[in-house]
């Protein structure tokens, strides 16, 4: 018998992993003006946002390609009037739903509508355990009181609650008090999140950077609380990159587990990817999500190990950290395809730590607050 149908050629390229999580940035509108906000400095205008129908399409496509969790974020996601509708739709699509919010717009009716729609979890950000500190970094008066009230509403509605404790030079001495506050509010989980320097955070880096001594103290305090609260509240803590020896597996590896959809529908491999020159971001208005994931230029750019510098490509950790963060490599080493300078094998590692120390010592006290359009400086 002749073989009329030769076997297809073995495909040597490894199969592409599909994403497990999607960050849906519903809007860049936000009543707060946090100096550390990681949104891009050029915020996307409200009139260009995806419609409800477009977001529904994105959620369906995400579920069909294996996304398990959706994080509704922003900006402030509850500034969208269709937030409850979108949560309900995501739940119907079988997605596990998280809401990442500042909490300042939440009221009892909205929280109970969200709970009825099937929302599982709320992540509420806290700037400080004291009013003054919270007001200054958030550029919003009275945020802490509103956030505490929101936390109560979330607990009353029976939802899971995580406190996202955003740490920088000015509140670092209160990290213990902030963790205690999270426990008192009934959080099952707290994330001690050192500011990441993207977007507005990068612009304000010199005014936010903690010192090495502060970090050492912070780490000891967090470890003590982790031991004390074992089984009562989970405390996640990541040593900030500027003082680490090895980089984090940013996004679990570029284009491996995670995708981000911006308010206007651009699909990004990570929420800071737009800072990298030369990448092309397709939008869900032009192409199906799956296509963008599989073959979009921005996704292919740093997927796998072909793009890596040779020291990473031959490193045994390359499938743990995937060479670290591309945006940080760009910001510090000047090349998005360089080794993340958080790695102590990087030629820029020492310079990065020294820069962090210098900035912390200089103790700058001026923030540029997050805003649409022209930026305003203010000192405190």
Partner 1 sequence: MLVTRTLITAESVPRLAPHVTLKHDTVRDRWVVLGPERMLVPDEIAVEILQRCDGERSVAAVVGLLAKEFNAPEDDIAGDVRELLQALADKGFVRA
Judge contact between 360 and 205, C-beta under 8 A. Answer: no
Helical H segments across 65-195, by residue range = 83-92, 108-117, 131-138, 143-156, 175-184
Q: Say whether 48 counts as a known binding-site residue.
A: no
Closest CA to 161 of 170, 153, 173: 153
Q: Which two tokens stand for residue 316?
A: 């045994």
Map the footprint of partner 1 across residues 85-144, applying CB under 8 A: 94, 96, 98, 120-121, 123
Closest CA to 143 of 28, 35, 31, 26: 31
Smallest gap from residue 68 Cβ to partner 1 (A)? 6
Smallest gap from residue 232 Cβ to ligand SF4 (A)? 27
Closest CA to 299 of 63, 74, 17, 43: 17
**Cβ distance to partner 1 smaller for residue 231 or 334:** 231
166: three-class secondary structure by DSSP: strand
Stretch that binds partner 1, among 61-69, 145-153, 198-206, 323-331 (CB under 8 A): 61-69
Each residue 286-325 as x (binds partner 1 by CB under 8 A) or -, in order, gives ----------------------------------------
Quote the DSSP letter at residue 333: I
Quote the DSSP letter at residue 236: E
Smallest gap from residue 166 Cβ to ligand SF4 (A)? 8
Map the footprint of partner 1 across residues 17-46, applying CB under 8 A: 18, 20-21
Out of 38, 105, 130, 189, the residue judged to bind partner 1 by CB under 8 A: 189
Judge contact between 262 and 268, C-beta under 8 A. Answer: yes
In this structure, the chain runs to a length of 380
Smallest gap from residue 150 Cβ to partner 1 (A)? 16
Smallest gap from residue 115 Cβ to partner 1 (A)? 11
271 binds partner 1, rule: CB under 8 A: no
Query: Is residue 120 classed exposed, middle or buried when 0-12, 13-18 and 19+ CB atoms within 10 A define those classes?
Result: middle
User: Which residues of the chain form contacts with ligand SF4 (CB under 6 A)?
Assistant: 30, 32-34, 37, 39, 74-76, 102, 125, 246-247, 311-312, 315, 317-318, 321, 323-324, 339-340, 343, 345, 370
**Cβ distance to partner 1 smaller for residue 42 or 64:** 64
Q: Which two tokens stand for residue 226?
A: 């982790």
- What residues contact 130, with CB distance under 8 A and at least 6 apart? 144, 174, 177
The entry of ligand SF4, partner 1, none that residue 15 binds, CB within 5 to 8 Å by partner kind: none
The Cα–Cα gap between 74 and 24 comes to 7
73 binds partner 1, rule: CB under 8 A: no
Q: Say whether 37 counts as a known binding-site residue.
A: yes
Q: Say whether 30 counts as a known binding-site residue.
A: yes
Quote the DSSP letter at residue 105: T
16 binds partner 1, rule: CB under 8 A: no
The entry of partner 1, ligand SF4, none that residue 69 binds, CB within 5 to 8 Å by partner kind: partner 1
Known binding residues for [4Fe-4S] cluster:
30, 34, 37
């Amino acid at each position: 018998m002749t073989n009329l149908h030769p076997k297809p050629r073995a495909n040597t390229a490894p199969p592409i992993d599909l994403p497990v999580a999607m960050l849906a940035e519903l809007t860049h509108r936000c009543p707060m003006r946090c100096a550390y906000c990681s949104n891009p400095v050029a915020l996307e205008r409200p009139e260009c946002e995806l419609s409800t129908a477009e977001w529904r399409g994105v959620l369906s496509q995400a579920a069909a390609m294996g996304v398990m969790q959706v994080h509704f974020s922003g900006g402030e996601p509850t500034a969208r009037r269709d937030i409850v509708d979108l949560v309900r739709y995501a739940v119907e699509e079988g997605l596990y739903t998280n809401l990442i919010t500042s909490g300042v717009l939440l009221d009892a009716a909205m929280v109970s509508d969200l709970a009825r729609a099937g929302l599982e979890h709320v992540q509420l950000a806290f700037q400080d355990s004291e009013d003054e500190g919270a007001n200054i970094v958030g550029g919003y008066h009275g945020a802490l009181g509103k956030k505490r009230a929101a936390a109560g509403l979330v607990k009353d509605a029976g939802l899971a609650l995580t406190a996202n404790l955003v740490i920088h030079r000015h509140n670092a001495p209160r990290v213990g008090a902030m963790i205690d506050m999270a426990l008192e509010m009934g959080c099952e989980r707290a994330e001690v999140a050192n500011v990441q320097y993207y977007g507005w955070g990068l612009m304000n880096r010199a005014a936010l950077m903690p010192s090495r001594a502060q970090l050492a103290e912070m780490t000891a305090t967090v470890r003590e609380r982790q031991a004390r609260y074992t089984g009562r509240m989970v405390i996640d803590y990541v040593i900030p990159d500027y003082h680490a020896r090895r980089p984090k597996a940013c996004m679990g590896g570029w284009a491996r587990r995670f995708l981000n959809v911006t308010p206007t529908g651009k699909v990004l491999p990570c929420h800071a990817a737009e800072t990298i020159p030369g990448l092309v971001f397709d939008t869900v208005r032009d192409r199906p999500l799956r296509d963008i994931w599989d073959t979009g230029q921005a996704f292919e750019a740093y997927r796998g190990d072909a793009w890596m510098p040779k020291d990473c490509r031959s490193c045994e950790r390359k499938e743990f950290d995937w060479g670290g963060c591309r945006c940080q490599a760009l910001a510090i080493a000047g090349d998005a395809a360089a080794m993340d300078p958080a790695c102590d094998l990087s030629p820029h590692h020492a310079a990065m730590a020294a820069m962090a120390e210098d900035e912390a010592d200089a103790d700058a006290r001026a923030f540029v607050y997050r805003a649409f359009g022209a930026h305003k400086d203010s000192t405190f």
